[in-house]
Structure 1
Amino acid sequence: MVMDCEICGQPIQGRPVKLRVAGAVVLSCKNCSDLGERVHERRQSSISTRKKQIHSRRESSSPPHHQTRKPPYHGAPRKNRTRKPSRFRLVENFDTIVREARGDMPQEDFAQSLNEKNSLIQKIETGKIRPTHQLARKIEKQYHVTLLEKVEEAEELDDLEWKSKKKDSFVPTLGDFIKKND
């Protein structure tokens, strides 16, 4: 099975190199291995044997009447949720739009109508913090204003330089998005 480099897109000759590039772990060829920090994984077997050793020590050292205790509950396992890149962007003058949407209504009543804290609304109106996507949607629906504008994909990719000479069949790889710190 031939793997492709996740940075340059070329087929990997030999063994792939595992790198951390901009926070993401990728498999790369040897040519691209200098673009990130090498990731070394611990062997799973050594970790599991350590756990077994610790567990066996606990069982042998505790008296039999203590073994009836329930193990501590650590909550439900967390789901890995990957965020989708937002296709919407908060408008620049969101603070004035929120202030105008409130009109003559006191901030306390406005905050209560949105089920939010008054201090949060104050900070949004002064521009100190930006409302979350969810709160912006709530304000838009309830007060018929526009706080989020659609972002075109071309706007997001404007500042990228394409390294490929073949413009017709070009498929961007992670290497096209990496900014080198030379």
Structure 2
Amino acid sequence: MSVAVSGHATSLWAEQTPTEVVERTIKDTLYILTELKDASRSAQRQWEIEQVVRRAFNYEEMAERSLGETGIKSNVAERRQFVRLFVQVLRDDLADHLRDYSVAQVVYLAEGHDDDGAQVMIAPAGQEVDTRIEFQVVRRSGAWLVNDISIDGASIMAKYQAQFTRILREGSFSDLMEYLKQKAVIA
């Protein structure tokens, strides 16, 4: 059984503004986190949030960027496996950052545009945290897709690049894949 998240066809996503895409992504994720919060539903919750990531994020390009130059050295099968694991890590990061909020607590502050795309600034306010989250959004194949998230100025892409570079510098691509597998299982 699948939670009815948004039912929007891809063409509807193409017609949305960057703010509407971010808003739908946050609403869908918060709905899933609320409806499937019981521990016995964790596998379904993870699957549902992964579908949100696959629909709303520029995850393939993000995965490639997170590898930097080392991505060129991996083969097609390794990259495919890496992207699958990257989506799971991204899914878990998204859930972790939004877990303490409700739809009513999210305020959409601003949408700005530049040559590379758009930025949507939001301010979710939980019981213990007040923060700013900026979604970097790009136009790909006619639709707006999330390309990065900065939380209080810290980019998750920069975090991934630093972590993955360190692992690859000290080890191998296999070590990175093992790290991602463990990280995806822990969440």
Normalised TM-score (structure 2)? 0.19
Structure number with greater CO (CA < 8 Å, separation at least 6) is 2
Looking at CA atoms only, which structure, 1 or 2, has the larger radius of gyration? Answer: 1
Normalised TM-score (structure 1)? 0.19
